[in-house]
Amino acid sequence: MKSIVSAPAKVILFGEHFVVYGKKAILCSINKRVTITSSKTDEAIISVKSSLGEISVPSSDSIDEINSPLLPFIYIAKKMINEFHHSGGIKITIESEIPSGVGLGSSSACCVAAAGSISNLFTKYSKEEILNLAIEAEKTIFKDASGADSTVSTYGGIIEYDKKSGFRKINTNIDLHLVIVNTKIPHSTKHVVTKVKEFIDKNEKTFSDLCEEEMKLIEKVNLALKSGDLKFIGEAMIQNQKYLDQIGVSNKILRDLIDNANKTSFGSKITGAGNGGCIIAIVDKSNIEKTLKNLQSKNNECFSVQIDSKGLDTF
Ligand code: MEV
């Protein structure tokens, strides 16, 4: 039996980094997906094949001995093998349309799709159980992950999330389009989160004030999402970007792109960890083409996306 599951990429509309410290964030999943196919094998080997490379390990190997970006998938496979006393192995294939390492939640979407696909070979997990397994797996490579990215990839749509209360769907009729610019400058989320921690250690009061400002902004954005006020949401993005600049996750390339994006869109900001990766600009049908044209350059990859409302999808 083959088990095929897909999960979407995400953007953080508001609140990255603050969410690591228990504050709220607003995220949405987007129409770019990863698809994972898995099957049981007789041989006791776990094998993973993806564009990031390949790995094959005996099912009995300890997780601690594995040093690979593909570790989360081995973790999920091993956990299922042990829990369901499977004497063989698992073959996992990852096919992705999500650029990796640039803030679009590629690794979280892969963990969600893998948790869904592999668990489905043994049992029928609820979305909540799949999400918990995906977050556990993600933490094998990034222990401070807030869980926000995996949550939106599992449930889809626009959500408000915080670590303590989990997620709440935001229902809106808004026709949200986003232009994404991938600077192709790779970043390590773990590294940028550590840098922010160093900033906080030296600037506790500033960070706590910024957290408060961010929370006030998110409250207002919630109302604007309900009323469909794109202009306000764009201005709020510009404001959020100022906070991200203050905690040190921006740089000249990103700032120049954002200044440019703000000329033709409703507003723009970094999405994800920052210091590289992607920026997002909020647009509608009236300014999408102009913004795409404005931001396209030979140094980057520029495309438009829409909200994905499905989340995790089992075939
Ligand atoms: C990464 O997409 C977003 C961060 O807030 C980290 C996290 O939430 O785990 C920087």
Q: Domain spans of the chain?
A: 2-171, 177-306
CA nearest ligand 1 atom 1, residue: 272
Is the distance from the beta carbon of residue 234 to the nearest atom of ligand 1 less than 6 Å? no
Concerning whether 162 is annotated as a catalytic residue, the answer is no
Tokens of 297: 């350059």
Is the distance from the beta carbon of residue 272 to the nearest atom of ligand 1 less than 6 Å? yes
CA nearest ligand 1 atom 10, residue: 273
Please tell me which residue in 149, 201, 245, 284 is annotated as part of the active site.
149
Is the distance from the beta carbon of residue 9 to the nearest atom of ligand 1 less than 6 Å? no
CA nearest ligand 1 atom 2, residue: 272
Q: What is the 3-state secondary structure (H, E, C) of the chain?
A: CEEEEEEEEEEEEECCCHHHHCCCEEEEEEEEEEEEEEEEECCCEEEEEECCEEEEEECCCCHHHCCCCCHHHHHHHHHHHHHCCCCCEEEEEEEECCCCCCCCCHHHHHHHHHHHHHHCCCCCCCHHHHHHHHHHHHCCCCCCCCCHHHHHHHHCCEEEEECCCEEEECCCCCCCEEEEEECCCCCCHHHHHHHHHHHHHHCHHHHHHHHHHHHHHHHHHHHHHHHCCHHHHHHHHHHHHHHHHHCCCCCHHHHHHHHHHHHHCCEEEEECCCCCCEEEEEECCCCHHHHHHHHCCCCCEEEEEEECCCCCEEC
CA nearest ligand 1 atom 3, residue: 272
d(CA 241, CA 221): 14
Residues of the chain under the 50 pLDDT cut: none
CATH architecture classification, 177-306? 2-Layer Sandwich (3.30)
Q: What is the pLDDT of residue 289?
A: 97
Q: Are 89 and 31 in contact (CB under 8 A)?
A: no
Q: What is the pLDDT of residue 187?
A: 87
Q: Whole-model pTM above 0.85? A: yes
Buried-exposed string 58-95: b where 16+ CB fall within 10 A, e elsewhere: ebeeeeeebeebbbbbbbbbbbbbeeeebeebbbbbbe
d(CA 161, CA 247): 21
Q: What is the pLDDT of residue 65?
A: 87
* 19 Cα–ligand 1 center, Å: 7
Question: What separation, in Å, do the N-terminal and C-terminal C-alpha atoms of the chain show?
Answer: 12
Mutate to test the pocket of ligand 1, among 10, 11, 12, 244 (most ligand atoms within 8 A of CB): 12
Fold of 2-171: Ribosomal Protein S5; domain 2 (3.30.230)
In the numeric block, the tokens 């397994």 are attached to: 133
Each as own residue / partner, the long-range contacts of residues 146-149 (CB below 8 Å, 24 or more positions apart, any chain) are 146/19, 146/20, 146/25, 148/12, 148/19, 148/25, 148/27, 149/10, 149/12, 149/27, 149/105, 149/108, 149/109
Q: What is the pLDDT of residue 246?
A: 97
Q: What is the pLDDT of residue 197?
A: 97
* 1 Cα–ligand 1 center, Å: 35
Predicted confidence (pLDDT) per residue in 132-189, tens digit = 999 999 999 999 999 999 999 999 999 999 999 999 999 998 888 999 999 999 889 9
